[in-house]
């Protein structure tokens, strides 16, 4: 079974979920390029995605995102240079990894123009981001979640 057939069978067996795929990404790094193409490609294959630009006016962002993560069969996390600079992204990742543990959500990491070891070991731009977050009590959890997610076999955009 090739990768496309495997993904299609995973998605087709997810009838109880509102979304097939939740996309987690740092908007300033990827929204207008990689994410827009990925979202279009998934939708073309009839894979229902949740992307934060589909939030309704007046929605409570954090509650809506948490529900979308919980109601997705798969989360694709697009790690980019500035992903860890966003507390929103790190909180999303923590929820995604919780759903992986509790409801066996499938997590697929994509390393977009970044070495997976930078994410796994929080070096380079990830180290710089954590210097800014050092007073936040969630830092240890975020670090653990980044390491766990980066240890999942994923796609490295630098190896096309």
Choice among 28, 92, 124, 135 that is catalytic:
92
For 134, half-sphere exposure in the C-beta direction (CA atoms, 13 angstrom radius) is: 4
Count Cβ atoms below 10 Å from residue 48 Cβ, excluding itself. 15
Residues 25, 23: Cα–Cα separation, whole Å: 6
Six token digits for residue 59 = 């929605």
SS3 content of the chain, % helix, strand, coil (to 5): 55, 15, 30
Residues 43, 49: Cα–Cα separation, whole Å: 7
Whether 98 is a known active-site residue: answer no
Q: Which residues are catalytic?
A: 92
């Amino acid at each position: 079974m090739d990768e496309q057939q495997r993904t299609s069978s995973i998605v087709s067996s997810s009838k109880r979920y509102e979304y097939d795929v939740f996309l987690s990404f740092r908007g300033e790094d990827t929204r207008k390029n990689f994410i827009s193409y990925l979202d279009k490609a998934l939708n073309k294959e009839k894979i229902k995605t949740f992307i934060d630009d589909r939030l309704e006016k007046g929605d409570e962002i954090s509650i809506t995102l948490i529900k979308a993560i919980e109601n997705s069969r798969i989360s694709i996390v697009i790690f980019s240079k500035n992903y860890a600079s966003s507390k929103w992204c790190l909180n999303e990742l923590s929820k995604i990894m919780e759903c992986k543990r509790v409801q066996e959500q499938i997590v697929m990491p994509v390393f977009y123009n970044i070495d997976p070891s930078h994410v796994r070991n929080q070096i380079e731009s990830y180290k710089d981001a954590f210097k800014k977050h050092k007073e936040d009590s969630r830092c240890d959890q975020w670090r653990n979640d980044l390491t766990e997610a980066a240890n999942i076999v994923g796609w490295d955009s630098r190896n096309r």
